[in-house]
Amino acid sequence: MIVCGALRNGKLAPTAAYLAATLMCWQPCTAATDVEARRFPQSHIKKAQWYQFLVETEGKPGAVILNHARETRIVVPQESAIYFFTKQSHPAHPAAVRRAIVSYGHTSYVHTSGYYAGERHAFLAWLQAFAEQDRKLQRDLKHRRPALKSLITRLGMTAR
């Protein structure tokens, strides 16, 4: 596990260096059924389940933890995934979203799933912001315009 913190200017130099190093070997997941497997059967979970999910994700091999003011992001390169866990200052707290690049044959897309133990409407608004980013990413993937580095950078952008 690697933990990175935000610098005063909001840039994550250690994170950028790590992501640049891993981008060379980043591969979209090919076992889509594994990537799309849900951690919990339903979106509404208990706070204890949310916390358990956070601890499990932090403990995944190769996990890189990025602390931000309103959320913690956990990059798991082996899954081609980024997990987002809200902090108390986030309106949807406690909530979590997982985004992963998935490939079926020659087609790639971003799979997003999430869970909430807090306010449902705040969670849905947060999830909708991710969905808007996903639609833009899907257009980019379809047209194969951006480089993989750009995709990973966009995938890691927070939805506010």
pLDDT attached to residue 72? 98
In percent, the amount of the chain with pLDDT more than 90 equals 47
pLDDT attached to residue 101? 85
Average pLDDT rounded to a whole number, residues 60-68: 96
The answer to pTM > 0.75 is: no
Of the listed ranges 36-40, 65-69, 77-81, 98-102, the least confidently predicted one is 36-40
Amino acid of residue 50: W
Q: Where residue 139 falls among pLDDT bands split at 50, 70, 90? A: confident
- Where are the domains positioned within the chain? 2-155
pLDDT attached to residue 22? 40
Average pLDDT rounded to a whole number, residues 59-76: 96
pLDDT attached to residue 103? 82
**CA-based nearest residue to 76, from 14, 156, 17:** 156
Pair 115, 49: CB distance under 8 Å: yes
| pLDDT exceeds 90 at position 76 | yes
CA distance 119 to 92: 6
The CA-CA-CA angle for residues 99, 132, 14, to 5°, reads 45
pLDDT attached to residue 10? 40
pLDDT attached to residue 45? 97
CA distance 87 to 54: 11
pLDDT attached to residue 109? 76
Q: Given the structure tokens 């133990």, which residue do they identify? A: 117
Mind listing the pLDDT tens digit for each residue in 4-53?
A: 443 333 443 444 434 433 433 344 444 444 555 688 989 999 999 999 99
Sheet of strand 81-86, all strands in order from the earlier edge strand to the far edge: 2-5, 64-67, 71-76, 81-86, 95-104, 107-116
Helix (H, G, I), strand (E, B) or coil at 113: strand
